[in-house]
Structure 1
């Protein structure tokens, strides 16, 4: 591990350090979006929990969780010397809650309450890990103003590992959920054990091989002063609306994906293949987005990614039973666009920070907005129920509207909101290529 520089940020001097940093993105991704995609159909099939009940539980759990993120970010900034203990505690709680999530009680009502409790625990532990992890990556840019040249490679490793985690967490549980109902719980228990082992290995790699967390804590003001500093950062404020709208547009189809595949396309047995194709396309597109961002600028590339996503989901809204190959095409195009959504917004946020800003608090706000988007997406389930859709029946126009139409509208609003981003973040000045020394 390298020593921290005088400015408080580490210098990357070994080729393995950025991969070691990025590896934790794999288990964190396994416990994030794929869980939100799979938990509703899992509890519906295994315990018979109703669609409206699932939607409200998902909404309430995310709503409770998101309120703590700015506080967690502030605590990460103030307790830099104890970061290893924070990460270890978060990993232990996340592994236990993740396992409990897939092993609910037999009673339907008890299973519903259990789902809410396990989600809150898993979300809280995930937040603690993820905010510290993003703040760690933001410090790779150096002690002064952040720049894309230093941040993009770390983001690429982090999101690349995250996409690998999404592929793994999409294919395996989807295959289990679509298989033998009697063996579903046992197989998910084995999957949870594998998740815990992956999380342990990734955390050890981060703490022992990655670029060092700044050893000396920087003085940070009271949380109210930190909040005031964020509120005064105009560049940061103007990124929040497009980020939130875009996060909503991603969360809606993620929540409904398995229902759409089963009841709109009529291909439940191919759910793992569809989701795997989606995330593999994102992983393949990630280095292309990073390379394009170095040449064209981060914000223009994010805008291009949004345009590709709009075109993809507009096509998905026209699909019906038996449209397997067209839906594979939608998954490939939408997955490629996902790479831009994952890698570029954290880099844009880091570019808004000034020397002396506390990155943990900023990323806490960013994750809060992402969780609010996921919470609101849970309301799509009772909305579909109100529109007449029931799991196991053809989705029809209500499913096409909520799964494809609403995300397209939200993406268009996000593109419009990007016009308000300050001029310095809209510049397309190429950033130099980053190279680590051997």
Structure 2
């Protein structure tokens, strides 16, 4: 730990936490917040999220090109984008919508997603250069520090609003947005030295050249399929706990169990991967996730403690996904294509696309089933909730497992 701190890896941990807090947790809190406060429909929110990802489709490759050509302006660019990220979070949760709530929701997220994309691409591209300085297993080592920070950020962002609510704050998400601003400022200060480090980011080939690499295409596909279950469950987690299990107040502790399990599992998965191989370790983690989601299918009213076991197992499985796949991707890009932003423009887009597809499909599906947040839901509607929360992720994860099994990752791309 001390040696890693001397190498500056703690800076990657801190900044990864800030980025992660602005990513997946938004899909946990934002849809329910705007449904409860402004009475927006789930279908409208899902369509808005999908539309925002269409924007990402156009801008992520452009942002990747920009990152490749920033040079000495990396620090200025990172600082500006961090400020935009924080301001967008405040607008989303701490400002009463001054215009149509759906339009305001869309505008705030458009700014937030753009800043998030730019910072993520720069951050992970920078990590390639950093990983090259850390020895033969540098990418895996950096991934362990970085993704531990990511999981800590997700964990805090997921549970802080609930804790603020328990503490009787009148606007818990507004307070969370302000706390996020402070964390973003601290992360930007810590990371400043890394943006200005002497090592340069070698410019890499075109997007077409990257996509022509069959191993890289497989890794992108595995990343897309493997992230989808987490995206689906994140979008529906609060709804599942409150309406399927009938225990709204358990959401905070259950989220804590899930993300703490993920964070604790990261060094364990990294150690197993170093000893047994990355591919088989990933397969084991994905299998654990499938078992957990399959068990969730059987749950109903009052099954809070069994669901805590589901959160424990699926959280541990998430630790493998978040640690090993980025390490594999970084190593492949560095070894075959050189470092740079365009590869992570593609990776970033695939990761976010899963969240958008999840929100644009499962939320409208639940809405069309007759689901209600104010009236009792009949058994068939609750079954649709279970279907979207547990069955769909199990199927998607199974497909990802098959693709990974037939991908010769380790033979071509050692982490």
**TM-score scaled by length of structure 2:** 0.91
Q: Does structure 2 retain, via aligned residues, the 8 Å contact 1:95–1:196? A: yes
Q: For 2:174 and 2:369, how far apart are their aligned partners in 1?
A: 35
Paired residues for 1:145-294 under 5 Å: 149-176=137-164, 183-184=170-171, 187-208=172-193, 210=194, 213-216=197-200, 218=202, 220=203, 226-294=206-274
Q: Tell me, what secondary structure is at the counterpart of 1:183?
A: coil
Q: Does structure 1 retain, via aligned residues, the 8 Å contact 2:75–2:196? A: no
Tell me: CA distance 1:279–1:261, structure 2 relative to 1, closer, same or farther (3 Å).
same
Q: Deviations over 1:362-393 (max 9, x none)?
A: 11101101111111111211111122322344
Q: For 1:212 and 1:299, how far apart are their aligned partners in 2?
A: 34
Tell me: CA distance 1:211–1:110, structure 2 relative to 1, closer, same or farther (3 Å).
closer
- Which residue does the alignment assign to 2:385? 399
Paired residues for 1:11-410 under 5 Å: 15=6, 17-105=8-96, 110-142=100-132, 149-176=137-164, 183-184=170-171, 187-208=172-193, 210=194, 213-216=197-200, 218=202, 220=203, 226-353=206-333, 354=335, 357-379=338-360, 380-392=362-374, 393-394=376-377, 396-410=382-396
Q: For 1:309 and 1:135, how far apart are their aligned partners in 2?
A: 29
Which shifted more, 90-99 or 58-67?
58-67
Q: For 1:160 and 1:141, how far apart are their aligned partners in 2?
A: 16
Q: For 1:169 and 1:423, how far apart are their aligned partners in 2?
A: 33
Tell me: CA distance 1:52–1:357, structure 2 relative to 1, closer, same or farther (3 Å).
same
Listed as ranges, the gaps of 5+ residues in structure 1 are: 1-11, 432-438
Q: For 1:414 and 1:148, how far apart are their aligned partners in 2?
A: 28
Q: Deviations over 1:297-346 (max 9, x none)?
A: 22211111110000000011111110010011110000000101111111
Tell me: CA distance 1:356–1:248, structure 2 relative to 1, closer, same or farther (3 Å).
closer
Q: For 1:66 and 1:24, how far apart are their aligned partners in 2?
A: 24
Listed as ranges, the gaps of 5+ residues in structure 2 are: none
Q: For 2:353 and 2:371, how far apart are their aligned partners in 1?
A: 24
- Which residue does the alignment assign to 1:413? 399
Q: For 1:264 and 1:13, how far apart are their aligned partners in 2?
A: 44
Q: For 1:211 and 1:71, how far apart are their aligned partners in 2?
A: 20
Which shifted more, 170-179 or 33-42?
170-179
Q: For 1:261 and 1:356, how far apart are their aligned partners in 2?
A: 45
Q: CA RMSD in A?
A: 2.4
Q: Deviations over 1:157-202 (max 9, x none)?
A: 111111111111111113456786x922xx4333222111111111
Q: Does structure 1 retain, via aligned residues, the 8 Å contact 2:88–2:108? A: yes
Q: For 2:183 and 2:135, how far apart are their aligned partners in 1?
A: 31
Q: For 1:67 and 1:176, how far apart are their aligned partners in 2?
A: 37
Q: Does structure 2 retain, via aligned residues, the 8 Å contact 1:26–1:161? A: yes
Q: Deviations over 1:185-224 (max 9, x none)?
A: xx4333222111111111111113x596444564x47xxx
Q: For 2:399 and 2:110, how far apart are their aligned partners in 1?
A: 30
Q: How many correspondences in the alignment?
A: 407
Q: Does structure 1 retain, via aligned residues, the 8 Å contact 2:125–2:201? A: no
Is the helix fraction higher in 1 or 2?
2
Q: For 1:370 and 1:87, how far apart are their aligned partners in 2?
A: 21
